[in-house]
Amino acid sequence: MAGTSGPVGLAARQWDQVHAHDLYDIECDTAATSAEGCARQIKDFLPRRPAPTAFE
């Protein structure tokens, strides 16, 4: 069962706060891309990421 690190539904309750900025440095579609493919996208992105990042 997911959610063992907190109450059940915690992620759902935090969704709006976590994604309120609606700005991401990179997005990976985990429904259409394998874990290896997503990791490759992130690895390829890191050397050329924009400055400032979404959190700066």
Tokens of 12: 């759902």
For 19-32, how does the pLDDT look when each residue is reduced to its tens digit (9 = 90+)?
887 788 899 999 99
Q: How far apart are CA 16 and CA 40, in angstroms?
A: 28
For 3-55, how does the pLDDT look when each residue is reduced to its tens digit (9 = 90+)?
566 667 888 888 888 788 778 889 999 999 999 999 999 999 999 988 888 77
| Contact in structure between 49 and 25 (CB atoms under 8 Å) | yes
CB neighbour list of residue 30: distance below 8 Å, 6 or more residues apart: 38
Secondary structure of residue 33 in the 3-state scheme:
coil
